[in-house]
Amino acid sequence: MQASPSEIKFLSGPHSRVEEFTFTLRVVKEFVKGFRSLHFIGPCVTFFGSARFRQNHPFYEQTRLAAAEVAKLGFTIMTGGGPGLMEAANRGAKEVGGRSVGCNIVLPQEQAPNRYLDKWVSIRYFFIRKTLLVKYSFAFIVMPGGFGTLDEFFESLTLTQTKMIKQFPIIVFGKAYHRRLLEHIEVMRQQKTISPEDLDLILVTDSVDEALQFIKEKSILRYGLVPVTERRPLRWLLERH
């Protein structure tokens, strides 16, 4: 994955005040675009996972099944909108009549939204995309993936740990795949760079049923959440469902 040319330039150090102000306006425009596109999607569960595991791979089928069962609880399934395990999650939701949403990233080599999306928004900047993936979510499910997946996992975990967002459940699928990562997290606990209670925020499992129970306890029951909500669009803002 590559950042957009404007993002690369912005992150390369100080620029003129005009250039930085112009970039700030583009960022605001992207945020407004995201908010308008996703305002009516309802409470979501966001799936993170690799774009590289394709159909018929065991991780693809596990993601598809897990998303289908979560969608049956009434949640909208949100992903990064791309191929691989993102597609699998969106597909699982669609196959059981659930809502399926993507927050796609615009790359120099275009990442096309997958064909199982009811609605999607394409965003130019990774940091805006990550904000949107977190903003509408009441649980996070981390499937096997690479740097991007781990980045999303640890950002969500940091936000819940620091109480910048509510302590919504974070479920990590793939005990064998994530074994070394979990060993390092245990090292951090032993070295007291994290607190023992921080690990209460995470469920590591290979069981869809166990994941569903964790979501029910830590999201729906804890916060009195009603997964299905309806907001009426405001015509004067040209809003649509």
pLDDT in tens, 119-175: 999 999 989 999 999 999 999 999 999 999 999 999 999 999 999 999 999 999 999
CA 70 to centroid of chain Cα atoms: 14
68, 90 Cβ separation under 8 angstroms: no
What pLDDT sits at residue 4?
63
Q: What is the pTM of this model?
A: 0.89
- As beta bridge partners, residue 103 has 121
Give pairs for 115-118: CB < 8 Å, separation 24+. 115/87, 116/87, 116/90, 116/91, 117/81, 117/90, 118/94
Query: Tens digits of per-residue pLDDT, 224-237?
Result: 876 554 556 556 55
Give pLDDT tens digits for 37-84. 998 898 999 999 999 999 999 999 999 999 999 999 999 999 999 999
Give the single-character DSSP code of 74: T
> Exposure of 196 by Cβ count < 10 A (0-12 exposed, 13-18 middle, 19+ buried)?
exposed
* Confidence at residue 231, expressed as pLDDT on a 0 to 100 scale: 56
User: How much is the pLDDT for 226?
Assistant: 64
Continuous segment of H or E residues that includes residue 136: none
| Of the candidate ranges 9-18, 31-40, 59-68, 210-219, the one whose mean pLDDT is the lowest | 9-18
What pLDDT score was predicted for residue 216? Answer: 94
Of 223 and 179, the one with more pLDDT: 179
In this predicted model, which residue has the larger pLDDT, 36 or 2? 36
Residue 229: per-residue pLDDT: 47
Q: Which helix (H) or strand (E) holds 78?
A: strand 76-79
Domain 43-108+137-226 matching CATH 3.20.20.140: the answer reads no
Q: What are phi and psi of 94, to 5 degrees?
A: -65, -35
Positions of E strands within 100-190: 100-105, 119-123, 137-142, 170-173
| Closest-CA residue to 173 (of 105, 109, 241, 85) | 85
Q: What residue segments make up the domains of the chain, in order of their start?
A: 1-40, 43-108+137-226
Sequence-separated (6 or more) residues with CB below 8 Å from residue 88: 49, 53, 55, 59, 60, 61, 63, 64, 67
Render pLDDT for 80-116 as a digit per residue (tens, 0 to 9): 999 999 999 999 999 999 999 999 988 766 568 899 9
